Amino acid sequence: MLRVVVLGAAAGGGVPQWNCGCPICQAARTEQPELQSTQASLAISADGGNWFLINASPDLRQQLIAAPQLHPSPGKLRHSPIAGVILTNGEIDAIAGLLSMREGSPFTIYAHAKVLATLKSNSIFNVLNEKIVRRQPIAIEQAFEPALADGSPSGIEILPFEVSGKGAWYLEGERHPAGQDDAGDTLGLRIRDKATDKFFYFLAACARVTDDLKSRLRGAPLVFFDGTVWRDDELIAAGLSNKTGQGMGHIAMSGETGAIAALEGLGIGRKVFLHINNSNPALLHDSEERRTAERAGWQIPADGTEIML
Ligand SMILES: [Zn+2]
């Protein structure tokens, strides 16, 4: 059985964001604490005992405290059930949590060579001793099976694939440490339990749904998909930023080319938005946008939600 825990559902900054006074962040701080959400990450397991993280958000420490599945085994002085971390991009909200895993427990980081080059070029990540925390490159369209801490197979097959997106924000205008090749900045993942053949897709960032992507996702039992903004100019309209969703490499939920319309009619069993920005009105339980998303079969998860496949 494949177990999936939503450690966090929010985009960069979380809900509420430290410096944001927008209505949703204000409500999350005051009368609606249930709106609070940490930055996007999943934990997955095929055996219920050994787990892998999909991205390591800056909120990782808080997320691990809140997830009993990821606590050390009782009676062990030093232990973690986390055998590895799979990174899908090099953004702060996907990699900064690695710095909270620096206490000498062995695990493996799986990432595209481009993201590994980013880690290598930032000396702060040297705090993760490579003799203890291995760094293993993954490649587009090459399935791999992450290993458990003792080197045995995990029973999980992961297929990374290229998704329309963009490079990390902090590298804008700079030469990428891995060179200027565009590939590998944003990965989607197909995650399969080898014993049961159950699988799901993870796409926390996606700028555009192409025909190729539609045929890939058709009939999938479960898809986690980029839910950053409701509409493309949402941050501009709210006076929060001069960036569009597209400018940040994220498709909107709504609109003719938005995620809801693009993934309609593909026979996907369960559709879950992830990486939801605090400006997104679909976060509000009583909003028209929330009702529209739910009517179209989409779920907006609370942190800690567990799904079994
Ligand atoms: Zn806000």
Pairing state between β 107-112 and 133-138 = parallel
Between 35-39, 91-95, 233-237, the lowest mean confidence (pLDDT) is in 233-237
> What is the distance in A from the centroid of ligand 1 to the CA of 31?
15
> What is the distance in A from the centroid of ligand 1 to the CA of 16?
6
The number of angstroms, rounded, from the C-alpha of 39 to the middle of its chain's C-alpha atoms is: 8
Average pLDDT over residues 277-286: 96
Residue 246 contacts residue 166 (beta carbons within 8 Å): no
Would you say residue 179 has pLDDT above 70?
no
Q: How confident is the model at residue 181 (pLDDT cuts 50, 70, 90)?
A: low
The string of pLDDT tens digits covering residues 134-153 is: 999 999 999 999 999 899 99
> What is the distance in A from the centroid of ligand 1 to the CA of 237?
13
Average pLDDT over residues 8-25: 97
> What is the distance in A from the centroid of ligand 1 to the CA of 278?
5
Would you say residue 236 has pLDDT above 60?
yes
Measured in Å, how far apart are the chain's first and last C-alpha atoms? 6
Q: How confident is the model at residue 182 (pLDDT cuts 50, 70, 90)?
A: low
The string of pLDDT tens digits covering residues 70-128 is: 999 999 999 999 999 999 999 999 999 999 999 999 999 999 999 999 999 999 999 99
> What is the distance in A from the centroid of ligand 1 to the CA of 155?
40
For the chain, what percent of residues have pLDDT higher than 70?
96
> What is the distance in A from the centroid of ligand 1 to the CA of 100?
25
CA gap 250, 204 in Å, rounded? 9
Between 44-53, 165-174, 252-261, the lowest mean confidence (pLDDT) is in 165-174
Q: How confident is the model at residue 180 (pLDDT cuts 50, 70, 90)?
A: low
> What is the distance in A from the centroid of ligand 1 to the CA of 239?
11
pLDDT at 166: 76
> What is the distance in A from the centroid of ligand 1 to the CA of 136?
36
What is the chain's Cα-based Rg?
Answer: 18
pLDDT at 165: 81
Q: How confident is the model at residue 164 (pLDDT cuts 50, 70, 90)?
A: confident
> What is the distance in A from the centroid of ligand 1 to the CA of 84?
32
Tally Cβ neighbours within 10 Å of residue 175.
Answer: 8
pTM value?
A: 0.95
Strand order from edge to edge, sheet including 82-86: 133-138, 107-112, 82-86, 51-54, 41-45, 3-8, 306-308
pLDDT at 237: 87
CA gap 105, 128 in Å, rounded? 10
> What is the distance in A from the centroid of ligand 1 to the CA of 82?
32
Q: Which of 44, 24, 43 is nearest to 34 (CA)?
A: 24
> What is the distance in A from the centroid of ligand 1 to the CA of 287?
16
Place of tokens 């929330």: 290
The string of pLDDT tens digits covering residues 48-77 is: 999 999 999 999 999 999 999 999 999 999
CA gap 263, 209 in Å, rounded? 8
> What is the distance in A from the centroid of ligand 1 to the CA of 27?
9
Would you say residue 43 has pLDDT above 90?
yes
> What is the distance in A from the centroid of ligand 1 to the CA of 4?
27
pLDDT at 65: 98
> What is the distance in A from the centroid of ligand 1 to the CA of 250?
17
> What is the distance in A from the centroid of ligand 1 to the CA of 273?
18
What residues are neighbours of ligand 1 (ion), with CB under 5 Å?
A: 20, 22, 25, 278
Q: How confident is the model at residue 306 (pLDDT cuts 50, 70, 90)?
A: very high
Q: How confident is the model at residue 15 (pLDDT cuts 50, 70, 90)?
A: very high
